[in-house]
């Protein structure tokens, strides 16, 4: 039969529900609060959860939101409460609960809700990307999320002032009212059209670094900016450049004035050093739930090593490192040695893996090879995008790749 997790702070209710469900042939795991529920959910991976709303440490609605934000709400959840309201039931359903039971719970209503929950198909597809809502223990991230939500209530455009260690994408995915619809304008090279904006209705348009946009992409940005209200879109852009610096790069000053009207400076990973263990653990959990890596967990020493490591590439670098470590680790527990293999500094006489004791010509060639290998991977072998990214004419680009002994992509006309 099924594995069911019961979460309730009242011992009598836990025992009563447990007895009923065990008599029905189910395996039951009990949790008296949200902390125990988190641990039980991760360890037991239940087929269904009965979740009380009112609990002393973290209420059930907050825990439900946390599971939804971290990609863990892949099992049916039935909410329970003796003091609930219609609004509470509606909110729980909106977040992802499948049913709502009022205490005292009648036997037939309990069994009916459990039966309906277990008959539901598993949640299809990968979980939604992580947002700030998944990180409940960090005061800095909780405050950032509240600021972003407050701004989102009054403005459709938000500019994030970032530097090294940026968490811009994580912040952008936390904008109030955003859906799973997501448009990264930096990934679009052809002119954007109305059908794309219609398909993204209610979602977020994102730019990770304004200074990297080409002139056609800047036109896409301006086109989209004029249509945010029509398609219920929100726009989040990030940059480490000042407004006048972008103007000197040729940006339209009127467009810049609109983008810089509402801005926020989120913390970097360097500012969040003490929160890095939670960030890394949640990223790993999300990757496991998405099926991208085998089931692993970090040791305390491994988390501390991640905490002390500099992350100039920000959230994207941290996520990539966690994924690489998890894929390369043989044991279920990720050890300090596993982390050190990934984050070890370059050998003496090298910089970022490049040899410094070679003649200039050979060193330059080594750098170019590393550079083009990186961008080939980043663009998936797409030569059109690679030419735009590197600023090289296509013929020159093919010649350069051949000279470096690199295999040119064949997806030249894809966008």
In this structure, what CATH number is given to the domain that contains residue 61?
A: 3.40.50.2300
Which pTM value belongs to this model? Answer: 0.69
Residue 224 lies in a domain: yes
Question: Do 153 and 83 share a domain, yes or no?
Answer: no
Residue 175 lies in a domain: yes
Find out whether 388 and 380 touch, Cβ atoms under 8 Å. no
Question: Do 97 and 201 share a domain, yes or no?
Answer: no
Residue ending a domain, among 84, 119, 154, is: 119
Residue 127 lies in a domain: no
Residue ending a domain, among 264, 290, 307, is: 264
Residue 124 lies in a domain: no
Residue 131 lies in a domain: no
Helix (H, G, I), strand (E, B) or coil at 183: strand
Digitized pLDDT (tens) for each residue of the chain, 415 residues in all: 799 999 999 999 999 999 999 999 999 999 999 999 998 998 878 999 999 998 888 899 999 988 888 778 888 999 998 876 778 888 888 888 999 999 989 999 999 999 999 987 655 456 778 888 888 888 999 999 999 999 998 999 999 999 888 999 999 998 865 556 899 999 898 999 999 999 999 999 999 999 999 999 999 999 999 999 999 999 999 999 999 999 999 999 999 999 999 999 999 999 999 999 999 999 998 898 888 899 899 999 999 999 999 888 899 899 999 999 999 998 999 999 999 988 776 555 555 556 666 788 877 888 888 888 778 777 767 788 788 888 888 888 888 888 887 776 544 444 4
Residue 17 lies in a domain: yes
Question: Do 254 and 155 share a domain, yes or no?
Answer: yes
Residue 133 lies in a domain: no
Question: Do 111 and 147 share a domain, yes or no?
Answer: no
Helix/strand number for the chain, H first, E second: 18, 14
- Please report, in angstroms and rounded to a whole number, the separation of the first and last CA atoms in the chain: 48
What range does the domain containing 182 cover?
A: 140-264
Our count of domains for the chain comes to: 4
Give the span between the Cα atoms of 65 and 94, in whole angstroms: 10
């Amino acid at each position: 039969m099924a594995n069911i997790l019961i979460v309730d702070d009242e011992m009598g209710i836990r025992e009563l529900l447990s007895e009923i469900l065990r008599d029905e042939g189910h395996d039951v795991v009990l949790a008296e609060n949200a902390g125990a529920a988190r641990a039980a959910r991760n360890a037991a991976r239940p087929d269904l959860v009965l979740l009380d709303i009112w609990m002393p440490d973290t209420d059930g609605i907050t825990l439900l939101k946390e599971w939804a934000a971290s990609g863990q709400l892949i099992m049916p959840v039935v909410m329970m409460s003796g003091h609930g309201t219609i609004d509470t039931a509606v909110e729980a359903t909106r977040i992802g609960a499948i049913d709502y039971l009022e205490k005292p719970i009648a036997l037939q209503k309990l069994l009916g809700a459990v039966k309906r929950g277990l008959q539901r198909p598993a949640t299809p597809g990968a979980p939604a990307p992580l947002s700030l809502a998944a990180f409940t223990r960090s005061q800095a991230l909780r405050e950032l999320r509240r600021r972003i939500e407050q701004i989102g209530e009054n403005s459709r455009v938000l500019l994030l002032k970032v530097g090294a260690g940026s968490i811009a994408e994580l912040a952008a995915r936390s904008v109030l009212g955003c859906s799973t619809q997501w448009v990264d304008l930096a990934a679009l090279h052809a002119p954007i059209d109305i059908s794309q904006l219609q398909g993204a209705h209610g979602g977020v348009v994102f730019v990770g670094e304004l200074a990297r946009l080409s002139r056609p992409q800047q036109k896409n940005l301006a086109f989209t900016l004029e249509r945010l209200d029509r398609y219920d879109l929100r726009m989040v852009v990030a940059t480490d450049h000042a407004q006048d610096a972008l103007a000197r790069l040729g940006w339209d000053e009127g467009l810049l004035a609109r983008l810089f009207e509402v801005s926020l400076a989120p913390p970097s990973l360097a500012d969040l050093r003490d929160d890095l263990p939670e960030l890394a653990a949640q990223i790993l959990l999300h990757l496991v739930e998405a099926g991208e890596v085998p089931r692993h967990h970090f040791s305390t020493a491994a988390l501390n090593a991640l905490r002390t490591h500099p992350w100039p590439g920000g959230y994207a670098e941290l996520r990539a490192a966690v994924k690489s470590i998890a894929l390369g680790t043989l044991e279920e527990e990720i050890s300090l040695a596993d982390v050190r293999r990934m984050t070890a500094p370059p050998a003496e006489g090298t910089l970022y893996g490049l040899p410094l004791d070679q003649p200039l010509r050979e060193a330059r060639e080594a750098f170019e090879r590393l550079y083009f290998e990186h961008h080939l991977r980043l663009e998936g072998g797409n030569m059109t995008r690679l030419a735009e990214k590197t600023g090289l004419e296509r013929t020159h680009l093919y010649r350069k790749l051949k000279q470096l002994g690199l295999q040119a992509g064949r997806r030249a006309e894809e966008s």
